[in-house]
């Protein structure tokens, strides 16, 4: 079958498997070109199939020689459709890593579940005995709790509703979007899904199973952003969840003290991921930011950001570079006052008629499409894809 993109709002409803391979290979090439760096050799990545998690896996394997176990909740090809981009990312990464002699294990299932924790523990025991680094990169709209309750997160405001221009990738147009006011229960549920509770449960289970090496590190990914985005992010329900995640780092750090281990939160810059594209209003800020940062030569995509995190800020000659709150500030370029002044000057001028001439909305759209295997150079998108053959591949 010939596969063309199906976009609804800011969500991709399909992917191009061959394009996903090209995207993985492109990131691997970027890491090879940047050169090797020191890093961990046995890594567990929770949320490994896309965005920051996938970029972390590629950077650590092809930059630092790491063997990895990746946990993700993805779907393969079936009567229901082609399957998810993450499913194919897992396959292509595994093939590339194993060609170079690295171990790359893909565990497919619900990372929030105790069953998946036990499966990961069994795999670690079988392969290595211990891990040197645990990466927590989960983003989900819901979480099934141990007692059977299903809790859902929401993207809403707190304090007062927020109205602004949002970006429809489906129509390549600006549309007015509203973040309604969240109830206390919705705030609580969003923290339950997207906060640090599950991260701490993973670390406790791994420690109880003696699967953490002496000096083990763990890092979770977060975002804060500039004051101009606070009403839609930091002061919203997701901001409450991220604050809980930040606080959990201190608790996990105390928990790891007997191993000489440490817990950190990497505060990343705003980037195009499946999660960020879905947040109301934020993509408009992101499109402007990308244009300004590219003009000044300091833009980073997911793969460049993750390489800098590990090579320079976690495993470099100076050791971990973090602030007093256990935050590794990868948003240092984004929050440069000159960068923010330029973005702030543009944002009030954006209209549905002129937005394509401001910032880099074409680059934002291209990045989003490439997350799903589309618009990659060298891929013949008019060539038929043999889905039956792809269905025989194991993740």
CA distance 145 to 264: 25
Strand partners, 131: 212
Neighbours of 40 (CB within 10 A): 23
270 contacts: CB under 8 Å, gap ≥ 6: 223, 225, 276, 282, 285, 286, 289, 331, 334
What is the model's pLDDT at position 232? 85
Are the beta carbons of 209 and 125 closer than 8 angstroms? yes
Task: Please state the length of the chain.
Answer: 395
Q: Is the pTM of this model over 0.95?
A: yes
Closest to 270 measured CA to CA, from 188, 164, 196, 359? 359
Of the residues 233, 240, 285, 315, only one is catalytic, namely 233
- How would you write the pLDDT of the chain (395 residues) with one tens digit per residue? 999 999 998 899 999 999 999 999 999 999 999 999 999 999 999 999 999 999 999 999 999 999 999 999 999 998 888 999 999 999 999 999 999 999 999 999 999 999 999 999 999 999 999 999 999 999 889 999 989 999 999 999 998 899 999 999 999 999 999 999 999 999 999 999 999 999 999 999 999 999 999 999 999 999 999 999 999 899 999 999 999 999 999 999 999 999 999 999 999 999 999 888 888 899 999 999 999 999 999 999 999 999 999 999 999 999 999 999 999 999 999 999 999 999 999 999 999 999 999 999 999 999 999 999 999 999 999 999 998 888 888 88
What is the model's pLDDT at position 276? 87
The residue to which tokens 């949320």 are assigned = 47
CA distance 254 to 300: 33
Q: Give the count of alpha carbons within 13 A of 108, CB side only.
A: 12
Q: Give the 3-state secondary structure of the chain.
A: CCCCCCEECCEECCCCHHHHHHHHHHHHHHHHHHCCCCCCCEEEEECCCCHHHHHHHHHHHHHHCCEEEEEECCCCCECCECCCHHHHHHHHHHHHHHHCCCCEEEEECCCCCHHHHHHHHHHHHHHCCCEEEEEECCCCCEEECCCCCEEECCCCECCCCEEEEEEECCCCEEEEEEECECCHHHHHHHHHHHCCHHHHHHHHHHHHCCCEEEEEEEEEEECCCCHHHCCCCCCCHHHHHHHHHHHHHHHHHHHCHHHCCEEEEEECCCCCCHHHHHCCCHHHHHHHHHHHHHHCCCCCCHHHHHHHHHHHHHCCCCCCCCCCCCEEECCCCCCCHHHHHHHHHHHHHCCCCCHHHCCCHHHHHHHHHHHCCCCCCCCCCCCCCCHHHHCCCCC
Are the beta carbons of 267 and 223 closer than 8 angstroms? yes
Q: What is the pLDDT of residues 144-164, one digit of tens each?
A: 998 999 999 999 999 889 999
CA distance 374 to 372: 6
Are the beta carbons of 130 and 212 closer than 8 angstroms? yes
| Inter-CA distances, 81 with 246, 302, 382, Å | 38, 27, 19
User: Does the annotation mark 233 as catalytic?
Assistant: yes
Strand partners, 179: 162
């Amino acid at each position: 079958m010939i596969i063309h993109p199906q976009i609804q709002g800011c969500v991709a409803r399909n992917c191009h498997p061959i394009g996903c391979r090209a995207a993985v290979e492109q990131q691997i090439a970027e890491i090879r070109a940047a050169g090797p760096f020191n890093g961990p050799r046995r890594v567990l990545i929770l949320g490994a199939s896309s965005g920051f998690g996938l970029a972390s896996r590629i950077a650590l394997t092809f930059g630092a020689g790491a063997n990895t176990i990746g946990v993700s909740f993805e779907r393969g090809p079936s009567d229901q459709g082609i399957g998810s981009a993450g499913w194919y990312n897992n396959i292509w990464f595994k093939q590339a890593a194993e060609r170079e002699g690295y171990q790359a294990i893909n565990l497919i299932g619900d990372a929030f579940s105790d069953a998946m924790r036990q499966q990961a523990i069994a795999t670690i025991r079988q392969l290595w005995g211990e891990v040197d680094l645990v990466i927590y990169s989960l983003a989900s709209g819901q979480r099934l709790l141990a007692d059977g309750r299903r809790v859902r997160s929401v993207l809403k405001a707190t304090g007062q509703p927020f109205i602004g221009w949002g970006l429809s990738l489906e129509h390549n147009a600006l549309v007015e979007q509203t973040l309604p006011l969240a109830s206390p229960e919705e705030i609580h549920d969003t923290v339950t899904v997207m906060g640090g509770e599950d991260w701490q449960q993973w670390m406790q289970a791994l420690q109880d199973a003696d699967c953490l090496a002496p000096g083990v590190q763990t890092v979770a990914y977060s975002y804060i952003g500039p004051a101009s985005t606070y009403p839609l992010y930091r002061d919203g329900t997701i901001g409450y969840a991220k604050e809980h995640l930040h606080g959990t780092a201190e608790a996990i750090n105390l928990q790891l003290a007997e191993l000489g281990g440490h817990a950190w939160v990497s505060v990343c810059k705003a980037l195009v991921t499946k999660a960020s594209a879905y947040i109301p209003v934020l993509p408009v800020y992101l499109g402007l930011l990308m244009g300004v940062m590219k003009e000044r030569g300091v833009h980073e995509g997911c793969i460049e950001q993750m390489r800098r995190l590990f090579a320079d800020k976690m495993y470099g000659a100076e050791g971990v570079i973090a602030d007093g709150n256990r935050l590794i500030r990868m948003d240092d370029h984004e929050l440069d006052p000159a960068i923010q002044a330029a973005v702030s000057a543009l944002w009030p001028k954006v209209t549905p008629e002129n937005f394509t001439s401001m910032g880099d909305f074409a680059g934002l759209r291209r990045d989003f499409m490439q997350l799903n295997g589309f618009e990659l150079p060298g891929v013949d998108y008019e060539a038929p894809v043999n889905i039956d053959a792809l269905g025989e591949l194991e993740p």
